[in-house]
Amino acid sequence: MATDRSNLTSVERERASVFHSWSAQSTLNPLMIKDAEGVYVTSEDGTKFLDFSSQLVNTNIGHQHPRVVAAIREQASVLATIAPQHGYRARYEAAERILDHSFEGAAKVFFTNGGTEAVEHAVRMARLHTGRPKVLATYRSYHGATATSINLTGDPRRWANDQGSAGVVHFFGPFLYRSTFYAANEAEECERALEHLEDTIRFEGPSTIAAIILETIPGTAGIMVPPPGYLRGVRELCDRYGIIYIADEVMCGFGRVGSWFAYLDHDVAPDLVTFAKGVNSGYVPLGGVVLNEAVSATFNDRVYPGGLTYSGHPLACASAVATMDAMRDEGIVENARRIGDEVLRPGLEELARRHHVIGEVRGLGVFFALDLVSDRASREPLAPYGQSSPAMNALLAACRDEDLLIFANFNRLHVVPPCTISDAEARDGLARLDRALAVAGQFYLGAA
């Protein structure tokens, strides 16, 4: 039966009809968006926000890139959709470009609708390839929200969904600022984290472990760049025990850190790579798995038991091709690295000198986190693990007052603008953040 909604506001209609993710529905107050362009998003009331969040860290080429929008229109005019058992140009061209930027020995691409499905299928492939049940993942991680991927996730969003029967074992990855291993420097953190991982493998039984999955640089969990040698050490452990190494590049891939893939900076070749987000900046849902030759060959004469109605959707693949071509032609990956080196890192470090609530600045490219504390000496977080706090709420409200969209998680602010951001736009964002951080000073309890 039709309902008369003519007397309701846009927010009221949104709240009444749409079930939002990761939210208590009665407390919702969504920002209603009218349009977006470049690094800016405009709300329905005309307010223009600087997008320092890239939405969910996925609009790597910014909003409404004309080449990508045109590619979607062109593809829709000739082939808007087709079943995945057929072949078509947009899909193989997208796969070819992804493989061209991947590790030596990358063989094929399996397309999904997003990152969580990519993780699901990568784990399934690893288990079928090895004949083993278990997968190891770190506590400080996020791998998705479907059945397997949410159990792999280490952060508190797993707790309500964890049935303890997914064959997942968690371990601690390296994180020097909040070291689990009482390390004094990166070399110690790396060595002790690898010893801990090998102990976990030994106690769980190497013959039971199909894969280790790692975000090359954990994103939502805090943007902790691994110390030199850690990923090579993981690769060596996987080789020693016959374990598949899955690199989760859903958030850190496709230019985010100033490289096509983050693992390329660490001189390692994973066996499987999951991707999504930046592959086409989320213009049309797309994700996937890059398979090496060995895992791909497992299914040469054996049916792979998995598939998706929209695997490699024509509009999504056309947008991916256009995105990767724009990134190549316009130097977008290089711009991300330069902005990080020349503007964001020095700018954020200057903010840390001015605002004592910033305990640590970490990251690279356009992928930075501010670890916020109430006391630098004790490193007490500005919000408890898995929760928010009055201090963080006040800070986020101040960012909103500055018309600044920013990504926040627990006690952290993530500075993750599009890879296309200019020097002037980045400096403008830092100035807005500087003013917002002044609000958090009242919550700092340590010595100046």
Nearest-angstrom CA–CA distance, 185 and 120: 35
Q: Is the pLDDT of residue 251 over 90?
A: yes
Nearest-angstrom CA–CA distance, 425 and 369: 18
Q: Are 105 and 293 in contact (CB under 8 A)?
A: yes
Q: Is the pLDDT of residue 255 over 90?
A: yes
Among 83, 137, 146, CA closest to 117: 146
Q: Give me the chain's average pLDDT, please.
A: 96
**Residue 232 backbone dihedrals phi, psi, to 5 degrees:** -65, -35
Q: Is the pLDDT of residue 448 over 90?
A: no
Q: Is the pLDDT of residue 162 over 90?
A: no
Please report the domains of the chain, with CATH numbers, ordered by start residue.
Answer: 11-64+331-443 (3.90.1150.10), 67-329 (3.40.640.10)
pLDDT digits (tens, 9 = 90+) for 4-34: 888 999 999 999 999 999 899 999 999 999 9
Question: 236: exposed, middle or buried (C-beta count within 10 Å: 0-12, 13-18, 19+)?
Answer: middle
Average pLDDT rounded to a whole number, residues 212-239: 98
Instruction: Identify the H or E element spanning 53.
Output: none
Overall size of the chain counted in residues? 448
Nearest-angstrom CA–CA distance, 232 and 266: 7
Q: What is the pTM of this model?
A: 0.96
Return the pLDDT at 393.
Answer: 96
Token code pair at residue 65? 């890139």
pLDDT digits (tens, 9 = 90+) for 308-343: 999 999 999 999 999 999 999 999 999 999 999 999
pLDDT digits (tens, 9 = 90+) for 125-158: 999 999 999 999 999 999 999 989 999 999 888 8
Q: Is the pLDDT of residue 417 over 90?
A: yes
